[in-house]
Structure 1
């Protein structure tokens, strides 16, 4: 058997690594991981804003050019100058509200003078010539 001094020596050596393992995490400082941003732009929070400008009317006035008259007779289509900011669904709703006719299709273009022109094709149930007479075009 080993002498008592060796037993004490071995017991202290065996205890030393255990205390060293426990002390190691206390000595190591935890570093904070910094995220690197890779986006070029940042989004701002969005929220609904009230409308600042209400248009008085979407449809301004009808056109009475030769081409517009030909479209009325042949294609069942009315031609109007509309608000420049109006979209096709707004134009359809305005036609329904003002003239009580259903629009099947709306084609729009912006003229060189900056006004927006809308070609409004009516459904087969409504005649463009009758609607033009009600408006006062023909």
Structure 2
């Protein structure tokens, strides 16, 4: 049997710098008005709107589903049931929202 060498546990203290490394906090580039770019008005999108009660938008690529849900609820007064997203071949993000008006 070989000997076992144990490293003693040491206390890790939180860093307390003398000055801040950043002069100003980072600006949020993705505000509520920049998330949704425009609604999609293609024939397939219109069919989804009529048949499935679903809205289709072109949105910012960096936006996630929670942000999309909040924006649609705020600006369109719709309770969103589900959000589906995909990134199209032209590098735009498309979002489908099934909602209850």
Q: Encode CA deviations 1:12-70: one digit per residue, 9 max, x unaligned.
A: xxxxxxxxxxxxxxxxxxxxx795xxxxxxxxx9xxx9544322421110000000000
Match among 104, 110, 128 for residue 87 of structure 2: 110
2:43 corresponds to which of 66, 69, 82: 66
Structure 1 counterpart of 2:56, from 73, 79, 91: 79
RMSD of equivalent CA atoms: 2.2
SS at match of 1:112: coil
Q: Which of the two has greater strand per residue?
A: 2
Structure 1: runs of 5+ lacking an equivalent: 1-32, 36-44, 127-138
Q: Greater helix percent: which structure?
A: 1
Query: SS at 1:109's partner residue?
Result: strand
Q: State the aligned residue count.
A: 80
CA distance in 1, matches of 2:84, 2:41: 17
Q: Which runs of 5+ in 2 are unaligned?
A: 8-14, 16-21
Corresponding residue of 1:121: 98
Bigger Rg, structure 1 or 2: 1
**Which residue does 2:77 correspond to in 1?**
100
Distance 2:30 2:76 in 1: 18
Q: Which has the higher contact order (CA 8 A, sep 6+)?
A: 2
